[in-house]
A and B are shown apart, each in its own frame.
Chain A
Amino acid sequence: MQFLRRIFTREKISVDTSLETTEIETDTSEVSHYMPGLNVAYQTDVGQVREQNEDSLYALNVYLEANDETIPFGIFIVADGMGGYLKGEVASSTAVHTVADYLLSNIYMPILNENTQSAKQKPIREILEDAILMANTKIMETTPEAGTTLTVAMVMRDELHVAHVGDSRAYLYHDNDLEQLTVDHSLVARLVELGQVTPEEALVHPQRNVLYRAVGQTDDLDAEVYYRSFPANSYLLMCSDGLWGLVDDEEIAHILSSPPNLQSCVSNLITTANANGGDDNITVILVGMGELPM
């Protein structure tokens, strides 16, 4: 397909499911903040305490040529698996694969190559919901005792669509302001929101790890989908709780504010999480939006 002009990243990076934890090699493509369109960096790390990495991630970043227009297009996914006996990592990587496949065949081809849109084509929100439901069914079939969080971002032109279940987060960083786009599906997030416990108490609350929604748990899963614009010179940050549980928003914003390039930002975030204890697997995807090619 000739309109796949450039591919920045490898197609799939999910953690090795073998027992020996292999070093996840990090992306080395030269990306800076100032290139047009999307720029991506990512990394996943086992952390300081755990033996396995149960997180999975996916990043696809391409340009499409359609109707005299160059369209940046990207799919970014973070999944944090859970459930003992190595099943968590199977669940998270199943989720990531399933969603990516579904999105590529349902959005990428049909939607981007047309300038007459039809009501017969499903809205993006429903495609994202279906993709997550598909992952849900797969996991319930293959690893019923495991589950995973799932946070999916799809970028098309300057549009950002985020779908999520669980507590892996997506943030938008713009003008020195870090805005959390997703609302964790966790008991403590809700308790904090309602003022029953303080954010500080939440960090040590006995039920802090309880999610009320995760992929692979029940048939009727309700994903949350948000639409946002993705303005030039802003950044999308996606991460598992291994990052946000140990590095607070202020520190994250600080690291994002002074980078030589995206990849070193990502490394800094992971180093900081490890320095603060690294009690869980840490996964980070950082997507920068440059000025769009018109």
Chain B
Amino acid sequence: MSEETRRLKVKKPSIGDQVLPKGAILQERYEILRALGLGGMGYVYQARDLRFANIKRLCAIKEMISTSPDPKFRKVALHNFEREANTLASINHPSVVKIYDYFTEGKRIYLVMEYVEGKDLERMLDELPKGTFLEESRVLKWGIQLCDVLAFLHENETPIVYRDLKPPNVMLRDKGPDTVVLIDFGIAKAFQEGQKGTMMGTEGYSPPEQYRGIASPQGDIYALGATLHHLLTRRDPKLQPPFTFHEAPPRNFNPKITELTEQVIMRSVNYDKDKRFDSSLEMGIALQKALDKNTQPEWMNQMQQIYDTPIGEEKPATPEYQASPKPPEVPAPEISAPNINKGTGTIQPLWKFECEDDVRSSPRVRDGIVYIGSYDQWMYAIDAKSGSKVWKYEVGGGIAASPCLYKDKVIIGSEDNVVYAFKVEDGTPAWTCYTKGMVRSSVHVSEEFEVALFGSDDNHLYVIDVNTGRLRWKFHAGGMVRSTPCFSDQLIFVGSEDNHLHAVTIQGKSKWRFESSLGIVASPVVEGNLVLVGSKDGHFYALSKKAGNQVWRVKTNKPIYSSPRVHGKMVYFGGIDENLYAVEIQSGRVKWKFNAKSHIISTPLVFNDAIYFGTSSGEVISLVLKNGKERWRFQTDGPVPSSPDGYEDIIYIGSTDCHVYALPA
């Protein structure tokens, strides 16, 4: 490559001073009118053919200047230019620019072509007002025409692979119906399947295998898919990490695009060339179907869906060309009957355990026993296998907090202002600790210091001896403390209704505090040097553990009550904005999010490569950890603020329908 083109792929080389002036005449025949564009090796001019003296016959003249000091580079360039001339001369198709002539003058070589009056598609995009998109049906029509011309080239007597399909190489004629024309056959090449050629193309549009020298019709299909993607989303693939289309379905950028169109594009840009369309013809048919859908009124689409649904099946039939590996998720029909699974997978509860009131508390499972509290004022221990009661104990108020297991004790707070410690085996009370407000915060134990930490509605953070329940000290947090504290590196972190996240030393002094715009009810989690927590102000914050300054934040727009769950390099949390978020801890980037279509207060559980959480519409949902795709959902009869726990392939969770459920993971 020449020195100038080193790295700056987005930029064109400067050959500024070498442009031919207006009025220059080539071959005593072509009068240069103006420069049309700048290509990779020289200018493209508009010229007039003087041989037709009485009419103004225009042509486009493409110039190549061989200035490169590298003779090898010069030779390749010349070769490409001659190839372009020969290829073009052999093609006769309305969507391929026509060639008239070809000559050299000094160091410059020229190709005389039909002048296409119009704009190339890159300019179409450039001229589009910010925030607007090209009309989908129009782009689909261009796509269909391009499939047609690609099919023509691929099925030519000596098949031709175009190899450089991208918006600047496609022109749109001004006159007549919207017709596209392929220009620039600079690197098009006759091919035999699997043949290795020189590696050329344009980053962003070219398929991965082309960089190993493999050119095939599937490569052009990829480039066409990338081009359509760019035209519909305005997301320039040149500026993205290469080959990341699988993470960028077009509807993420332009939600108005129809699903069918998205499917066609996603299939054509598949990383694996064998998973793309078999031929441009096939892709053209798929685009035509998408176009039909697009131009039909909505009621016809609905009718179509009914016709397409074979009797006895709930899902619309998968269209035949939809052979891509993952069929799209079809929204399940709305069924609100209790205990009926309505998602992609089918699950039935293994058992359910009835309480007399809401179960907002989150279960903890250890050694085959599920511990959970209920609003009915009872603390329960339930056999994890059978769902039968092992013991229960009545306290003086509803239990919203979740149990904490420490050695032979289970510790939990109640709305009667008291924190209780029970013996795990039979539920006999070991100690109690009184506060002056309801205890909705759960207990966290530091084994190292043998203390239990929790918050109370009396605005204090409590630190008590975990063996006796005796108070060590309490810290005034300025507001109700419903967040569960966490402890790391001699610091205690807890959120408060006074809008702050407090970092308190083990001596009970404030180390730092971070002020959000609203209260912090969710519980913080420490990961490495970061404290992670969501706030009612709609942000999820990552703060430096030592000083509390923000390292990154994720904006969700609605309050966050759900506490974060860290797993590996990721943190997961839910929001009132109905999304479950998967965020990379080191960068604060959202890897994926899942819209649950109802509020998520529950803290997600990560268990066996899956995620589990409850929603305010009463569902328990399981997602694939890696990509957030739904695995199954299970309907209960009341909102589920409870967070699940997992044990031996079973998920345990409470619901405000007064039940504790055991579900197969």
Bound together, the chains give a CA A118 to CA B537 distance in angstroms of 12
How extensive is the interface on chain B, given as a class? 35 or more
Inter-subunit contact B529/A82 (CB<8 Å): no
Nearest CB of chain B from residue A223's CB, rounded to whole Å = 10
B100 is an interface residue with CB less than 8 A from chain A: no
Task: List B contacts of A98 (CB < 8 A).
Answer: none
Inter-subunit contact B515/A117 (CB<8 Å): yes
Inter-subunit contact B549/A117 (CB<8 Å): yes
Contact of B550 among A123, A217, A226 (CB under 8 A): A123
Task: List B contacts of A115 (CB < 8 A).
Answer: 511-513, 547-548
Inter-subunit contact B547/A207 (CB<8 Å): no
A260 is an interface residue with CB less than 8 A from chain B: no
B434 is an interface residue with CB less than 8 A from chain A: no
Inter-subunit contact A214/B8 (CB<8 Å): yes
Task: List A contacts of B9 (CB < 8 A).
Answer: 210-212
Bound together, the chains give a CA A190 to CA B247 distance in angstroms of 15
Inter-subunit contact A145/B211 (CB<8 Å): no
The stretch of B151-159, B233-241, B604-612, B619-627 that contacts the partner chain: B233-241
Contact of A226 among B6, B241, B587 (CB under 8 A): B587
Task: List A contacts of B211 (CB < 8 A).
Answer: 187, 191, 196-197, 205, 207
Smallest CB gap from B517: residue in A:
A119
Task: List A contacts of B240 (CB < 8 A).
Answer: 212
Given the known A-B contacts A190-B242, A217-B11, are A119 and B537 also in contact in the complex, defined by CB atoms under 8 Å?
yes
Contact of A196 among B209, B539, B549 (CB under 8 A): B209
Per-residue interface assignment for chain B, residues 115 to 134, with 1 indicating a CB less than 8 Å from any chain A CB and 0 otherwise: 00000000000000000000
Bound together, the chains give a CA A115 to CA B510 distance in angstroms of 10
Task: List B contacts of A220 (CB < 8 A).
Answer: 239
Contact of B552 among A194, A211, A227 (CB under 8 A): A227
Smallest CB gap from B10: residue in A:
A217
Bound together, the chains give a CA A43 to CA B236 distance in angstroms of 37
Task: List B contacts of A26 (CB < 8 A).
Answer: none
Smallest CB gap from B237: residue in A:
A212
Given the known A-B contacts A84-B4, A117-B549, are A145 and B14 also in contact in the complex, defined by CB atoms under 8 Å?
yes
Given the known A-B contacts A125-B551, A196-B209, are A185 and B14 also in contact in the complex, defined by CB atoms under 8 Å?
no
Task: List B contacts of A111 (CB < 8 A).
Answer: 547, 549
Inter-subunit contact A196/B547 (CB<8 Å): no
Inter-subunit contact A116/B203 (CB<8 Å): no
Task: List B contacts of A158 (CB < 8 A).
Answer: 529, 546
Contact of A116 among B238, B512, B542, B551 (CB under 8 A): B512
B516 is an interface residue with CB less than 8 A from chain A: yes
Given the known A-B contacts A190-B242, A207-B203, A229-B528, are A123 and B552 also in contact in the complex, defined by CB atoms under 8 Å?
yes
Task: List A contacts of B11 (CB < 8 A).
Answer: 83, 145, 147, 217
Bound together, the chains give a CA A229 to CA B530 distance in angstroms of 9
Given the known A-B contacts A118-B515, A157-B547, A196-B208, are A125 and B588 also in contact in the complex, defined by CB atoms under 8 Å?
yes
Task: List B contacts of A228 (CB < 8 A).
Answer: 586
B248 is an interface residue with CB less than 8 A from chain A: no
Bound together, the chains give a CA A206 to CA B203 distance in angstroms of 13
Task: List A contacts of B547 (CB < 8 A).
Answer: 111, 115, 117, 156-157
Task: List A contacts of B516 (CB < 8 A).
Answer: 119
Given the known A-B contacts A196-B211, A197-B211, A229-B528, are A121 and B238 also in contact in the complex, defined by CB atoms under 8 Å?
no
Given the known A-B contacts A191-B208, A194-B271, are A209 and B7 also in contact in the complex, defined by CB atoms under 8 Å?
yes
Bound together, the chains give a CA A206 to CA B242 distance in angstroms of 16
Inter-subunit contact B543/A82 (CB<8 Å): no
**Residue of B9, B539, B553 with most chain A CB atoms under a 10 A cut-off:** B9
Which A186-245 residues sit within 8 Å CB-CB of chain B?
187, 190-191, 194, 196-197, 205-207, 209-214, 217-218, 220, 222, 224-229
Nearest CB of chain A from residue B381's CB, rounded to whole Å = 40
Task: List A contacts of B514 (CB < 8 A).
Answer: 116-119
Smallest CB gap from A231: residue in B:
B529
Task: List A contacts of B203 (CB < 8 A).
Answer: 187, 207, 210, 212
Inter-subunit contact B7/A214 (CB<8 Å): yes
Contact of B542 among A122, A191, A227, A229 (CB under 8 A): A227
How extensive is the interface on chain A, given as a class? 35 or more
A124 is an interface residue with CB less than 8 A from chain B: yes
Bound together, the chains give a CA A126 to CA B537 distance in angstroms of 18
**Residue of B9, B240, B550 with most chain A CB atoms under a 10 A cut-off:** B550
Task: List B contacts of A145 (CB < 8 A).
Answer: 11, 14
B3 is an interface residue with CB less than 8 A from chain A: yes
Which B1-46 residues sit within 8 Å CB-CB of chain A?
1, 3-4, 6-11, 14
Per-residue interface assignment for chain A, residues 103 to 123, with 1 indicating a CB less than 8 Å from any chain B CB and 0 otherwise: 000000001000111111111
Contact of B549 among A121, A187, A226 (CB under 8 A): A121
Nearest CB of chain B from residue A279's CB, rounded to whole Å = 12
A97 is an interface residue with CB less than 8 A from chain B: no
Inter-subunit contact B239/A213 (CB<8 Å): yes
Bound together, the chains give a CA A154 to CA B263 distance in angstroms of 43
Smallest CB gap from B214: residue in A:
A196
Bound together, the chains give a CA A94 to CA B543 distance in angstroms of 31
Bound together, the chains give a CA A185 to CA B513 distance in angstroms of 38
Per-residue interface assignment for chain A, residues 132 to 157, with 1 indicating a CB less than 8 Å from any chain B CB and 0 otherwise: 00000000000001110000000011
B212 is an interface residue with CB less than 8 A from chain A: yes
Contact of B241 among A118, A157, A197, A212 (CB under 8 A): A212
Task: List B contacts of A207 (CB < 8 A).
Answer: 1, 199, 203, 211
Task: List B contacts of A218 (CB < 8 A).
Answer: 10, 236, 239
Inter-subunit contact B586/A226 (CB<8 Å): yes
Nearest CB of chain B from residue A260's CB, rounded to whole Å = 31
Task: List A contacts of B542 (CB < 8 A).
Answer: 123, 227
Bound together, the chains give a CA A119 to CA B548 distance in angstroms of 10
Task: List B contacts of A174 (CB < 8 A).
Answer: none
**Residue of A85, A115, A213 with most chain B CB atoms under a 10 A cut-off:** A115
Which B186-200 residues sit within 8 Å CB-CB of chain A?
199
Task: List A contacts of B102 (CB < 8 A).
Answer: none
Smallest CB gap from B244: residue in A:
A190
Given the known A-B contacts A196-B212, A209-B1, A226-B586, are A122 and B241 also in contact in the complex, defined by CB atoms under 8 Å?
no
A65 is an interface residue with CB less than 8 A from chain B: no
A251 is an interface residue with CB less than 8 A from chain B: no
B243 is an interface residue with CB less than 8 A from chain A: yes
Inter-subunit contact B208/A124 (CB<8 Å): no
A159 is an interface residue with CB less than 8 A from chain B: yes
Task: List B contacts of A123 (CB < 8 A).
Answer: 541-542, 549-553, 588
Task: List A contacts of B548 (CB < 8 A).
Answer: 115-117
Inter-subunit contact A119/B549 (CB<8 Å): no
B322 is an interface residue with CB less than 8 A from chain A: no
Nearest CB of chain A from residue B530's CB, rounded to whole Å = 7
Task: List A contacts of B212 (CB < 8 A).
Answer: 196-197
Per-residue interface assignment for chain B, residues 148 to 169, with 1 indicating a CB less than 8 Å from any chain A CB and 0 otherwise: 0000000000000000000000
Bound together, the chains give a CA A111 to CA B512 distance in angstroms of 13
Inter-subunit contact B550/A211 (CB<8 Å): no
Bound together, the chains give a CA A148 to CA B236 distance in angstroms of 20
Bound together, the chains give a CA A224 to CA B211 distance in angstroms of 25
Smallest CB gap from A186: residue in B:
B7
Inter-subunit contact A210/B7 (CB<8 Å): yes
Closest A-B pairs by Cβ, 6 of them: A123-B550, A125-B552, A117-B548, A190-B242, A229-B529, A209-B7
24 A-B pairs (CB sep. < 8 Å): A83-B11, A111-B549, A115-B512, A117-B543, A118-B515, A119-B537, A123-B541, A123-B551, A123-B552, A124-B550, A124-B551, A125-B588, A157-B547, A159-B551, A161-B551, A190-B242, A206-B1, A207-B203, A214-B8, A217-B239, A218-B239, A225-B552, A225-B587, A227-B586
List 4 additional A-B contacts (Cβ < 8 Å) besides A115-B513, A218-B239.
Answer: A123-B553, A125-B588, A187-B211, A214-B7
